[in-house]
Amino acid sequence: MYQEYAWKKYNGKSLDELNKFAEEYKSFISDCKTERLCVAKSIELCKKAGFKDVKDVKELKAGDKVYAVNKNKNIAAFVIGDEPLTSGLAILGAHIDSPRMDLKQNPLYESETLAYFDTHYYGGIIKYQWVTIPLALYGVVVKKDGTSVSISIGDEENDPVVGITDLLPHLGAEKMQKVAAKVIEGEGLDLLIGSIPVADEEKDPSKKAILNLLKDKYGIEEEDFVSAEIEVVPAGKARDFGLDRSMIAGYGHDDRVCAYTSLMALLDTPKCKKTTCAVLVDKEEVGSIGATGAASKWFENTIAELISLTEDYSDLKLRKALTNSEMLSSDVSAALDPLYASVMERKNSAFIGKGICFNKYTGSRGKSGCNDAQPEFIAKLRKMMDENEVNYQTSELGKVDQGGGGTIAYILANYNMSVIDAGVPVLSMHAPMEIVSKVDVYEAYLAYKTFLKNA
Ligand code: MN
Ligand code: MN
């Protein structure tokens, strides 16, 4: 069902199922605004579906269900298939990091009796979108004794929120002359967090008050921020969007919408011919680097572990398993926004409501940095999607030379596996409030299940 609007397929029971899935997804992104929270929730979902931690397993056979976790920030779940691992896996790979601001290592300061947290933004954000909106703080503070304190402020009913102030228009004449990239500067993204000075303190009395509060509530000292990971994200839950409730507005659709649908597709698909996998990675928005990014050896090591639990291990077997694998790089696409249609080339654009979007290539300036999936693999996927009546579309990331971007596709393709980007079209990508269509979310879930079964 290529390039057709998907809504007309749904009515009665099928529409109820679609809406139920959308509700579950809404609570997932409302509750999981950091990588760590996504991993914790994914572990919970895996356990509920009968998956075991691979660390607790002595051997694996067809039908066994396991998951592996990396540093609390990546998870991969597997259903062992009938064929040996060397014949390759069917992999769904998504990222669970989203654009945001992070607290600096020395974040706290005071100015004119107002207390602030200084931040460094993470990923590609349009900075002016992040001021004068309610923000929440999530993360961990790890103390020298190794204990870890969880922080979560801003999303409970009675929680306070924090935020970044902006200049009043009355005094904005000079500022309004600036180009959009300079209206709010990176160093201007400082969070106002308090204003009550401690009575008997001369130097930085408001900062002192915040430190007292942090000590009382969390048992942390100023220096503990050195080993903390606190993320600043939009406060509030994901909501139905549109008078017809057809869409979902929320923070972090990129790429938790593909992470959730990929994980659920894996959990809901019984044993297949091939071993099936959903892997959720970190750091995509900053180049997939680091121990928890897609370029880390962790995923490869995990496959090695699986082989050693199913048969005698050899390096050649690992290479065969990876090279024979097929993967959907589950990541979002930019949907055509009629208000900004001029940056798109309409024949090769993704549309809200036409289902999962396949991106043969991303990249920029003549496809530089792209994965460019092989037509043989795409043909196989077309057949699968058509035979299973999944609505799908294809797109490029905007007009030629308009800009560009990348995903994790090329990194896994380095193993010589077949990989293509496939995900949900998004409006206002990377904004504090991104928008997806419920029907595209559900079609992505169906497409991922179809792929796992037929790879
Ligand atoms: Mn993405
Ligand atoms: Mn992104």
**123 alpha carbon, closest ligand:** 2
State the distance from the centre of ligand 1 to the C-alpha of 358, rounded, in angstroms.
13
Distance 296 CA to ligand 1 centre (A): 17
What pLDDT, on the 0 to 100 scale, is given for residue 261? Answer: 98
Closest CA to 53 of 305, 247, 231: 305
Name the β-bridge partners of 95: 281
End-to-end Cα, the chain, rounded Å: 19
Judge whether 222 and 117 are in contact, CB under 8 Å. Answer: no
Taking 90 as the threshold, does the pLDDT of residue 253 lie above it? yes
How many angstroms separate the alpha carbon of residue 310 from the centre of ligand 2? 36
pLDDT digits (tens, 9 = 90+) for 193-203: 999 999 988 89
What's the pLDDT tens digit per position in 384-412? 999 999 999 999 999 999 988 889 999 99
Q: How high is the mean pLDDT of the chain? A: 97
For residue 245, give the nearest of 455, 18, 46, 69 by alpha carbon: 18
Residue 107 banded pLDDT, cuts 50, 70, 90: very high
Query: What is the 252 CA–ligand 2 centroid distance (Å)?
Result: 9
CA–CA separation, 59 and 267 (whole Å):
20
Ligand nearest to the CA of 330: 1
Write the CA distances from 14 to 9, 21, 106, 439, integer angstroms: 8, 11, 52, 11
98 CA distance to ligand 2 centroid (A)?
Answer: 7
Q: Is the pLDDT of residue 20 over 90?
A: yes
pLDDT at residue 43 in the model: 98
Q: How many A from CA of 269 to the centre of ligand 2? A: 27
The predicted-structure confidence for 230-247, as pLDDT tens digits, reads as follows 999 999 999 999 999 999
Q: What residues sit around ligand 2, an ion, with C-beta below 5 angstroms?
A: 254
**What integer is the mean pLDDT of 343-353?**
97
Q: How far is the CA of 119 from the centre of ligand 1 (A)?
A: 22
329 CA from centroid of ligand 1 (Å): 10
Give 335-346 pLDDT, tens digit per residue: 999 999 999 999
Confidence category of residue 5, pLDDT binned at 50, 70, 90: very high
Number of Cβ atoms within 10 Å of the Cβ of 409: 26
> What separation in Å is there between the alpha carbon of 415 and the centre of ligand 1?
21
Provide mean pLDDT across the span 151-170: 97
Ligand 1 centre distance from Cα of residue 95 (Å): 7
Q: Please give the distance, rounded to the nearest whole angstrom, from the Cα atom of residue 423 to the centre of ligand 2.
A: 12
CA 115 / ligand 2 centre spacing (Å): 31
pLDDT tens digits, 64-106: 999 999 999 999 999 999 999 999 999 999 999 999 999 999 9
User: Computed from CA positions of residues 170, 173, 175, 180, in that sequence, does the dihedral angle turn out positive or negative?
Assistant: positive
DSSP-derived pairing of the beta strands 425-426 and 333-334: parallel
**Phi and psi dihedrals of 20, rounded to 5?**
-65, -45
Q: Is the dihedral of CA 247, 435, 433, 119 positive or negative?
A: positive
229 confidence band (pLDDT: 50, 70, 90): very high
Residues 332, 254: Cα–Cα separation, whole Å: 6
Retrieve residue 140's tokens: 């961990």
Point out the ligand nearest to the CA of residue 96: 1
Q: Rounded CA gap, 99 and 287, in Å?
A: 12
- pTM (two decimals): 0.97
User: Contact 102/232 with Cβ under 8 angstroms?
Assistant: yes
The confidence score (pLDDT) of residue 363 equals 86
Q: Tell me the percentage of the chain whose pLDDT exceeds 90.
A: 96
CA of 178 to the centre of ligand 2 (A): 26
| CA 284 to ligand 2 centroid distance, Å | 7
**321: pLDDT confidence band, cut at 50, 70 and 90?**
very high
* pLDDT for 201: 85
Contact 307, 313 (CB under 8 A): yes
Question: Could you list which residues have their CB under 5 Å from ion ligand 1?
Answer: 254-255, 331
Is the model's pLDDT at 334 over the cut of 90? yes
